[in-house]
Amino acid sequence: MKEAILAQLRLLMRPHPGWYGLAAAVMLTTLGVMAISTVDGVLNVPAGVALAQGRRWLPIALIAMSAAALPRPRLIGRAAWPLLTFALLLLVYVVIPGAPRVPRINGTTAWIDLGVMNFQPSELGKVAFVLAMAWYLRYRESYRTLTGLLVPFAIMLIPVALILKEPDLGQAMVFAPTLFVMLVAAGARLRHIGSLLGIGLLAVALNVAVIYLDPPHARRGGAWDYAHVLAPHQERRVAAMIWPDRYAKRDAFQPLVAQRLIGAGGLIGVGKERARTLVRFNRLPEPHNDMIFAVIVNRWGLLGGGAVLGLYLVLLSSFFLVAARSKDPFARLVCVGFGGMIFAQAMINIGVAVGLVPTTGITLPLVSYGGSSLVATFTMIGLMLNFACRRPVLVSRPSFEFDHADPAYS
Amino acid sequence: MRRTLRYYIPSMFHRRLLLLLVSAAMVALAAVGQAARLATGEAHQRYRLAAEEALTIPHLLPTVRGRILDRRGRVLAEDGLAYDVAVHYSVISGRWAYEQALAAARRRYREQWSELAPDEREALVLREKEPYDQQAEMLWRLLADLGRVDRAEIEQRKSQISQRINTVSSYLWVHWQQQRQAQLNEPVPLAEVAQPIGEQNQAHSILLDVDDQVQSVVRRLIADAQRNAQRPVQEREIGLLVWEKVELLRSRRRRYPFQTVTLMLDRSTLPSAIRSPEPQEITVTQVATHVLGRMRDVWEEDVTGPNGRPFNVNRDLGGYLPGDRVGSFGIEHAMESVLRGLRGRAILHRDTGQEDRIEPRPGRDVQLSIDIQIQARIQAILQPEWGLTTVQEWHGNPDVPLGTPLYGAAVVLDVDSGQVLAMVSTPPYPEEDRIDAAVRDINHPLINRPVAAVYAPGSTLKPIVYCLAARERAIEVGQLFTCNGVFDPRHPHQWRCWGYRPERGLYHTHGSIGPAQAIATSCNIFFYHCGQRLGAQRLVRGLLDWGFGKPTGVELPEEISGLLPSLDGPNPPGYELTDSNAVNMGIGQGPIAVPPIQVAAAHAALARGGYWVSPTLLNSPMPTQSRHNLHLPPGAVEQALQGIYESANNPVYGTAHHLGGREPIMNAPGVVVRAKTGTAQAPVQFQDLNDNGRLDAEEPILRQGSHSWYVAHVAPTGHDRARYIICVLVEYGGSGGRVSGPIANQIIHALKAEGYL
């Protein structure tokens, strides 16, 4: 056993693109700790969160990462479905009204109180979902047909529905892009994906149109009532993007303050103390969490914001390179899925902060304060490192190659 | 392209990864682009300023409104420091008890709370509410005791506050709605703008201007409540909770120290019928209120109206904010800009703790030309209980029953300066709580009669008409006319002299009569001729020149112009520029009705020898008075002044000389009085039951008869030129000499008593 672990560690030490990803992740986390320290103890941010993130959660996350780097991929694959089942059970548990040790935080029952920490089952669910989906898709071709796409979507809907029940729209929102990325990588037909995306966009457009024509502040009633699908608070958040002035004191408050601070940051930012003061007196909600990007741009300016986005791209490309180098279909899809999931979450968060996406409570992975999220993300990175260091199986059927351009693959 | 791609990247999986990576880069680029849009150029500047604005807290520093002084420097109005006991609006509205009960219910049922249905929660809240309601009730009772007022009065005060806030909020909401609609260019429902207004988060005064003892009781209770609030929730004393919502508000209240004056007046100079050797103590209230004006809460028009003065922290610190007090009428209104002052501003930088201050600039004082003692004395003289303004036997007034109170106006003008020494209107301005009733009072106590009510000037106009006719050479300066009772034999009933009433057996005529005697005897025929010879055009033009029919420019916003036929416009029926109207206007009747200040100013011009100066109420700041020469022939002025001298001093035919029974009107020693009476036909005042504007058979007559005028030119003995003009008008008083004369006499005594004569 000891030998095996040592062998694996030696394998891990080999140079491979996973290291860029880890470096980017550590830099993002460091940037995050510095950004959190900017707002440590400001407004409703408890004092000492930066320290907790850097000294407690980061080591735990790194340990989780190391642990994830050890087991053989096959073992991980086998554990995928049981893990997802376990995550789903936990998700069912937190939505049971009155379940013990489930605190209600910000109106959401998304956590389980483990005594030492609050654990967020949806984070586990995200990891398990990607693993299970990759395990499911790895040898199939069914998703190359439109009907074959239904099963992956049906699988996705179970955790999404449970997370929506908590309710935690932000977490639920990252599942769909992740699945799309995985399906695209796995070789689903682009016209199918395009049609589905088109339907999705159409649904979004229809909802926006309904909100535009029958806005929450001037509901006409009657037949119009049937046109509304979104919850009233969600509609208000969309409306807040259309009419920011009108919702300035309510639903548009958070994005408007975030945009103000981003705008105030300018090219090189205002520095730590000034940023702290500005965040405090502009009353930026959730500055250590959902709105950390605004803090970053305010403190380090556009350069800081650009750096964050660049690091995410590095991280994503690292995941993709590992996938590209790997021959194991499971590892390939897992890496693509994790990369896509982290990137999608980051983009949704940043999109909210800069005012391109309606407000959703979602953290900036690696950067925002939060133990579960950090541990989950580093677990993903650990798995990616795990796959990166495996020697390619010499004789293996190339996976996800349905377009045989090179005779080598046919 | 696709082929090339396939050539270089044969693996489909790799191409898909590239596709995803490129898509990701584009998404990231969009995010960077949007961030760059916010953080560069003009947007960056705008956001930077907006973000930094949040670091500052501007405070406004209150200013002090200027004082109003009388001509001798006595303070008539000033901002005084007062303490009010104020209670937060949530307690007044009952919201506080509900919120407390809600918090208590949540504490008690913490475990189940999130699972309860709204109506179950409501039931639990109502169960908890009882003790808080009781606390609120105890607060009101204690305040009633402390303020020595009825519990019902407290309730009335509360409902007034609620009403005011409702009015203000609905007003504001509509305003916000309109603003928002204009901004968005689309309809906006009221519900969307119906946010709580500032007043709903403030304490409101329940007990006004409380004394030291009440202050100390309230202070102690508030301190106890604050200590109570420090304790853990379970240990708090419930009885003190409501006191957290009570404040002792330091407020500035406008005080009018001479609002009530008690005087000891000599009755020995009154007409013999009511004369007494014993002086009488008389208390007058609302002294000079018509002139000084009062304060009111700011209106929307003051802020956004056409002449509005909106508050702007950068441009106008004196601009109006909701809740400000503003002069409502009178001098308080007219001199608002002088009195108001500018607020100060302090900007606290929250990050550094520094404060930028602009100190408030106090309002400037306004000194009036009014002498408040004279004003008070005249008001006492005009008060019905003094006896001169109730219908008396000697008035010989057949139209009004004896003892009926009469109301009117008096103005005292300083001839040299045009300054108003006193301006009194009765009935006096109503007390604050009676204003609503006063609006419907047929005696119109809200109206400041000297400037805001019109009366036919009657015979007081005669010397002026004569001077005009002489100036225009319509008559000779010493012209004689023959008075045989009737002006035009073709219309024997239309234009007659006042003593010629054949139907009552009166055949008094004046025969051949010159101007001075005509004025002294107030012969109508002479002035009919003057009017006729002048013609309507010239007469009206001349009267305008004398300051009739247009505001005199006295500093009261209530001043009206009076009625005269227009020279250029079409005139309403009865106001045409016809010869018959000219004849009537010759004796101050017909289409002419003016406020008493115009009559006083015109007589002052006559007393100056034909130089018109606009009357003023101001001593400082320096008033801007208009003045012009009337270019009267000196001989005419002499004749006119001689006429009014004889009118007051000739015991045989002077109409302003005696009461009935030959008792002289004037009895003040050491003064020379010239005077002209007027008995002007007044419109019948009736209760217009069917609102048709006409008197119908079944409608009761409220007042009828004539308005009584008396204009006196007074000078100390030895002075030729009059020093003061006293103009007295009594509505429906009847004879000018008998009713207004004794009042003018008492005013002369008052001027003597105060050292003016």
B35 contacts on A by Cβ (under 8 Å): 262, 297, 302, 305-306, 350, 354
- pLDDT tens digits, residue range B177-226? 787 777 777 777 777 677 666 677 778 889 888 888 999 999 999 999 98
ipTM of the complex: 0.94
Tokens 């014993």 — which residue? B278
pLDDT at A248: 76
Selected for mutation to probe chain B from A106, A219, A261, A410 (highest B CB count within 10 Å) is A261
B115 contacts on A by Cβ (under 8 Å): 97-98
Specify the DSSP element, H or E, that contains B358. strand B355-358
Give the CA distances from residue B219 to residues A285, B162, B201, B214, B253, in Å, rounded to whole numbers and listed in that order: 38, 25, 21, 8, 20
Quick one: pLDDT band at residue A134, thresholds 50, 70, 90? very high
pLDDT at A395: 56
Q: Is 90 exceeded by the pLDDT of residue B554?
A: yes
- pLDDT tens digits, residue range A316-374? 999 999 999 888 899 999 999 999 999 999 999 999 999 998 888 889 999 999 888 89
Which residue type occupies B531?
Answer: G
| Residues contacting residue B681 through CB under 8 Å, at least 6 positions apart | B456, B458, B589, B706
Q: Report d(CA B613, CA B118) in Å as an integer.
A: 76
DSSP-derived 3-state class of residue B261: strand
Specify the DSSP element, H or E, that contains B367. strand B366-368
Answer whether B44 sits within 8 Å of A266, measured CB to CB.
Answer: yes
Give the closest of A218, A245, A305 to B35, CB-based: A305
pLDDT at A410: 45
pTM, to two decimals = 0.67
DSSP-derived 3-state class of residue A278: helix
pLDDT at A407: 54
Contact B559, B552 (CB under 8 A): yes
DSSP-derived 3-state class of residue A110: coil
Contact A295, A261 (CB under 8 A): yes
Q: Report d(CA A234, CA A3) in Å as an integer.
A: 54
| Residues contacting residue B548 through CB under 8 Å, at least 6 positions apart | B457, B562, B564, B592, B594, B598, B602
- pLDDT tens digits, residue range B20-50? 999 999 999 999 999 999 999 999 999 998 8
Give the closest of A97, A309, A340 to B31, CB-based: A309
Q: Is 60 exceeded by the pLDDT of residue A409?
A: no
Give the closest of A243, A323, A356 to B30, CB-based: A356
Q: What is the DSSP letter of A187?
A: T
pLDDT at B55: 84
Specify the DSSP element, H or E, that contains A94. helix A73-95
Does B257 sit behind a cis peptide bond, omega within 30 degrees of 0 on the bond before it? no
Instruction: Tell which phi-psi region holds residue B403, choosing left (phi > 0), alpha (psi between -120 and 50) or beta.
Output: left
Quick one: pLDDT band at residue A22, thresholds 50, 70, 90? very high
- Could you give the maximum distance between any two Cα atoms of chain A, in Å? 72
CA distance B307 to chain A (A): 29
Give the closest of B31, B48, B192 to A266, CB-based: B48
Q: Report d(CA A299, CA A37) in Å as an integer.
A: 11
- pLDDT tens digits, residue range A149-187? 889 999 999 999 999 888 888 888 999 999 999 999 998
The fraction of chain A above a pLDDT of 70, given in percent, is: 96
Q: Report d(CA B120, CA B115) in Å as an integer.
A: 10
Answer whether B32 sits within 8 Å of A305, measured CB to CB.
Answer: yes
What residues form DSSP beta bridges with B283?
B262
SS3 of B4-73: the string is HHHHHCCCHHHHHHHHHHHHHHHHHHHHHHHHHHHHCHHHHHHHHHHHHHCCEEEEEECCCCCCEECCCC
In 3D, which of A274, A357, B4 has the Cα closest to residue A266?
A: A274
The fraction of chain B above a pLDDT of 90, given in percent, is: 59
Pairing outcome for strands B68-69 and B366-368 = parallel
Q: What is the DSSP letter of B705?
A: S
CA nearest to A306 within chain B: B32
Answer whether B12 sits within 8 Å of A281, measured CB to CB.
Answer: no
A43 contacts on B by Cβ (under 8 Å): none
Answer whether B12 sits within 8 Å of A400, measured CB to CB.
Answer: yes
Q: Report d(CA B196, CA B381) in Å as an integer.
A: 52
Give the CA distances from residue B91 to residues B140, B151, B226, B233, in Å, rounded to whole numbers and listed in that order: 10, 16, 17, 20
> What DSSP string runs through B624-646?
---EEE----HHHHHHHHHHHHH
Would you say the C-alpha torsion A392, A394, A400, A406 has a positive or negative sign?
positive
In the sheet that holds B344-349, the strands lie side by side as: B56-61, B344-349, B355-358
